[in-house]
Amino acid sequence: MITGKRFAAGFCALFAALSMGLSPTSAFADDEPDRTEGPVPKVELLLDASGSMRARDIDGKSRMAAAKQAFNEVLDATPEDVELGIRTLGANYRGDDRKTGCKDTEQLYPVGPLDRRDAKTAVATLAPTGWTPIGPALLKAADDLKGGEGSRRIVLISDGEDTCQPLDPCEVARDIAARGIHLTIDTLGLVPNTKMRAQLSCIAEATGGTYTSIRHTEELTDRVGQLVDRAADPVVTPVAVEGAASCAAAPQLKPGLYTDRTGFGEHRWYRVDVEPGQELRASVSVAADRAVNNDYGVLMRAVTRHGREIVRGSEAGDGRTDAISTGLRYPKPEQDDDDAGTEAVCLQVSHSYAPAAGTPAAAKGKPGLPVELAVDVVGAPDDASDVAAFGLGRGWWLLGALVLTGFVGGLLWGWVARWRVTVWRTS
């Protein structure tokens, strides 16, 4: 007769075997990406070293001291596969000449393989000095990150708004985004006020970055470290494309991820070739990187070359989000006639964003609002492989495996419980 302990041991062994056999780690270990291969990510830390950084209001020490401490800790933890540089603004000129002060930006440590000791030595030399030329510094930082195909990220740390108008740093950020170099600007505001928060948020939003308010040294260290680590994560880099004003002139897109810019009241057209028996899947996101009216929407239409609408997708918003997305699917059926071949499907992207009252004229023109377009062409739905091609195959497999494991485990556990009750009653 089998004992309770031996049965329990056997049950645990069976459950462990099932779990190991169905584990996504063992099944897909060979598919894990190697982060040491491929394009090298680049990050430049852009630090405000203006005179206001002398203020002692972050954990009882100066803002500059908090920034130095955070930089040293981040430098120690920077991933080996990240090329990192440091640029300053307002670190050298102490005078009152605005023209000279607005040129005060220099690269403290060049973007490249990190020598932690040299970088820390460079940081130690910093002292709060002059003006706050954020716009000029962003332009220089974008130049520092040129070259290569990896992700690019600027992390701007400042305690005040730009003092070099009329060069608006928000417009500078939009121009950088419009270059199509896939550069993200994240901003951190030290002990922020309303004006500074608005300006730094605008800079970040223009490139798809983030803004964070900082009041403690630990917050600064953690956030800068997170952003540097994020640059090292493998990502799909969108390809810059320029949509046309008509279907006839639309650029042809292959499956992939694309970025574009669209102005207020503008329609953008793109073309995708679809074979019989294939399915076109497309989605679009349009973001507001400047002040807009609260009610807006986005529309994507798939039409034939002759203008007949095939399918559409639309979505609306009410000011609670600064980006809105929609998508569509078009399965092209198989045809019996020999002449049936590739169909050119045109995608039209439109939006109803409108500039908010009081928006400066410059912000109503170029560059337009950022657009991200995802395109995929897969086998028809009756082809089981199309699910995997669209990125869902593994998810459904894992879900089925978990359901099966739970079902088997539940049956065995119920049988064990009934067996123990029977033994208890007969003993």
Res. 7: pLDDT tops 50: no
Q: Residues 95-106: what's their mean pLDDT? A: 90
Separation between Cα atoms, residue 110 and residue 182, nearest integer Å: 20
Q: Residues 151-172: what's their mean pLDDT? A: 91
Of 308 and 418, the one with more pLDDT: 308
Q: Residues 256-274: what's their mean pLDDT? A: 92
Residue 188, pLDDT score:
94
- Among residues 313, 314, 319, the alpha carbon closest in space to that of 297 is found at 314
SS3 425: helix
Res. 121: pLDDT tops 90: yes
Q: Residues 26-39: what's their mean pLDDT? A: 48
Contact between 84 and 45 (Cβ < 8 Å): yes
Query: Model confidence over 188-216: pLDDT tens digits?
Result: 999 988 889 989 988 998 888 888 999 99
- Count of other CB atoms within 10 angstroms of residue 358: 6
Which residue has 């990896």 as its token pair?
Answer: 150
Where does residue 54 rank: exposed (0-12), middle (13-18), buried (19+ CB within 10 A)? middle
Q: Cβ contacts of residue 273 below 8 Å, gap of 6+? A: 252, 342, 343, 344, 345, 377
Res. 389: pLDDT tops 50: no
Report the range of poorest mean pLDDT among 39-43, 95-99, 162-166, 381-385: 381-385
- Among residues 15, 121, 6, the alpha carbon closest in space to that of 411 is found at 15
Res. 234: pLDDT tops 90: no
Domains in the chain, start-ordered, CATH in brackets? 42-232 (3.40.50.410), 239-386 (2.60.120.380)
Amino acid 229 reads D
Residue 418 confidence class, pLDDT cut points 50, 70, 90: confident
Residue 363, pLDDT score:
73
Q: Residues 11-20: what's their mean pLDDT? A: 42
Tokens (6 digits) for 156: 């701007």
Spell out the alpha helix ranges (H) of 84-133.
Answer: 98-101, 116-124
Residue 25, pLDDT score:
39
Res. 9: pLDDT tops 60: no
- DSSP-assigned letters across all residues of 295-359: -EEEEEEEE-TTS-EEEEEEEEE-SS-SEEEEEEEEEPPP-SSTT---EEEEEEEEE---BPTT-
Q: Residues 397-406: what's their mean pLDDT? A: 69
Res. 6: pLDDT tops 60: no
Q: Is the full-model pTM beyond 0.85?
A: no
Where does residue 111 rank: exposed (0-12), middle (13-18), buried (19+ CB within 10 A)? buried
Res. 88: pLDDT tops 90: yes
Separation between Cα atoms, residue 312 and residue 349, nearest integer Å: 10
